Amino acid sequence: MSATTVRTSVRPLPPLEDQRISPRATLTHIGALTRRNLMRIKADPESMIDVLLMPILFTTLFVYVFGGAVSGNQTNYIQYMVPGMLGQIGISLAMAVGTGLNSDFSTGVMDRFRTLPIGRASVLVSKLVAESLRALVSLVILMAFAMLLGMRVHTGPLQLLAALALAMAFGAGMVWVSMLLGMALKNPQAVQGVGMLIVMPLQFGSSTFAPTSTMPGWLQSFTKVNPLSALADSSRALINGGLPVLHPALEVLAWSVGLTAVFAPLAVRKFKKRT
């Protein structure tokens, strides 16, 4: 009696990142992960302290400390400074994303994502969506508190919404920069330090808090190409009226699209390498 050996050929499954995931499934993954990020915020209300208190603290300090010196009185300064702070709040929250993402790698959260059949980009996009919602809450608090202090919108609700949209668009572009830093640097302290080196010159080397006419020539040259200056100028035009809005608004949109086009693919590629 002869024995017959049967060889069974088993084709191994391709790696998760090589499996094709449909756009519909990717959207489902983004929605589920966004909900997960929001549930984490609900479970840890202390993570919203910066969102809730930063606009109140910054507005109070800058209006009552610098208002008289810069504009002669707080009433004039609040109309000048608060529209510029829309970008300042957005970029500060955006750069904090990288620190949290870096911590996720060290706590093992990303190890779980590595085992799931999900698009790698959906993890980062869901963070972008969740952080954009956090930023929107902070911007609404900023405007509401400023109005309590006496600020007025001299145009209309559509112009105000446009100013908020510009701030969120630029903040979204900076989130990709922050996430790339969070994956490229070794620890949260390094991410926070490099983030501050990026944020500080952008914030104070702009027309956000004071007119640029009294600055030295070399600094004025920087403020002219600083996207936060364009964001501050467009927001003032949309909220206060009487100023040209098209050119600075298009400049902000160009920066937002450019940052996303350059840093989003780099961040996704870095994320795939690390997971």
What are the pLDDT tens digits along the chain (275 aa)?
444 444 444 444 444 444 567 778 888 888 888 898 888 887 877 778 888 888 999 899 889 888 888 888 888 899 999 999 998 888 888 888 888 888 888 777 776 777 777 777 888 999 999 889 989 999 999 999 999 999 999 999 999 999 999 999 999 999 999 999 999 998 889 998 999 999 999 999 999 998 888 889 999 999 999 999 999 999 999 999 888 899 999 999 999 999 999 999 999 999 888 77
The CA distance from 90 to 164, in Å, is 10
Residue (of 105, 137, 100, 125) closest to 33 by Cα position: 125
DSSP 228-256: HHHHHHHHHHHHH-SS--HHHHHHHHHHH
| Residue 108: predicted pLDDT | 72
Question: How many degrees, rounded to 5, is the angle at CA 33 between CA 27 and CA 34?
Answer: 85
- Would you call 204 helix, strand, or coil by DSSP? helix
| Residue 272: predicted pLDDT | 84
* Amino acid, res. 5: T
Question: How many degrees, rounded to 5, is the angle at CA 53 between CA 161 and CA 195?
Answer: 85
| Residue 224: predicted pLDDT | 92
The CA distance from 109 to 188, in Å, is 15
| Residue 19: predicted pLDDT | 55
| Residue 103: predicted pLDDT | 84
| Helices and strands (H and E) in the chain: how many | 10, 0
Q: What is the pTM of this model?
A: 0.85
The CA distance from 263 to 268, in Å, is 9
| Residue 65: predicted pLDDT | 87
